[in-house]
A and B are shown apart, each in its own frame.
Chain A
Amino acid sequence: MSEKKIKNIFVDGPIAPAFIADSIAKHKSKTAIGGHSIFMGQVRKDEIDSKFVAAIDYTAYEDLALEKMHQIREDIFEKYPLNCMHIYHSLGRVKAGEICLFVFTSSAHRKPAIAACSEVVDRLKAELPIWGKEIFEDETHQWKENI
């Protein structure tokens, strides 16, 4: 059995572009890497019944989400030859136009990084107990559903 080191993925509020830039910069010393793949989720200003989404308020069953993320991480590292993988998801309120999800995978050549990044995003949307409440400009809300 692998040693269980549960990493936190949750960030309070939006993920700052400067944090993403820093995260990229930190890989300068990891010279075995030849390709990075990055996915960023941004809160979309959807129009629903002539009202616009102003923000999404995220909540999670954090313990369960982190355990599930740990399993996904192990599966992905087993499946693809990755050098590293970083995942961050917002909790709390993220305004339209701000970043709520950041997935960053790196490998020696591009293809595993791209495939792993895409698979992590798909799996975390389907499997992590996280909920988004879409807040409209008039402060009414509806619960987001992943398609």
Chain B
Amino acid sequence: MEIEIISFGQITEFINNQKIEVDGIADTDAFKQYLEDRFPALKGIKYKLALNKNIVQQNTEILNQATIAIMPPFSGG
């Protein structure tokens, strides 16, 4: 299945926006594991995911063609 990844803030420095073709990632917990394995720098950062523009509060199923944003702590204002 295809997942579009978009990153923000300091995370843009080591994860580019990209589309990935993966199998076996059923939900956001599995996706986090995938990300942290592929981008170990993420382990040291507090981050949140947004799945199709909804901030992920609990483990959520991922369907094909999802867009997932990886967001470090906010610092607006």
Q: Which residues of A contact B (CB under 8 A)?
A: 41, 58-61, 63-65, 67, 89, 100-101, 121, 124-133, 143-146
Contacts and interface: CB of A to CB of B under 8 A. Distances in A.
B1 interface: no
The main secondary structure of chain A at its interface with chain B is mixed
B72 A131 contact: yes
Contacts of B55: 64
Query: Among the interface residues A124, A131, A132, which one has the most CB atoms of the partner chain B within 10 A?
Result: A131
Interface of B: 6, 8-10, 50, 53, 55, 69, 71-77
A128 B53 contact: no
A117 to B, nearest CB: 13
Given A63-B53, A131-B8, A131-B9, A146 B74 contact: yes
Contacts of A63: 53
- Tell me which of B6, B71, B73 has the highest count of chain A C-beta atoms within 10 A of its own C-beta: B73
Contacts of A124: 76-77
A47 B46 CA distance: 25
B74 A131 contact: yes
Contact of A127 (B10, B53, B74): B74
A145 B53 contact: no
B76 A143 contact: no
Given A59-B9, A61-B8, A128 B76 contact: yes
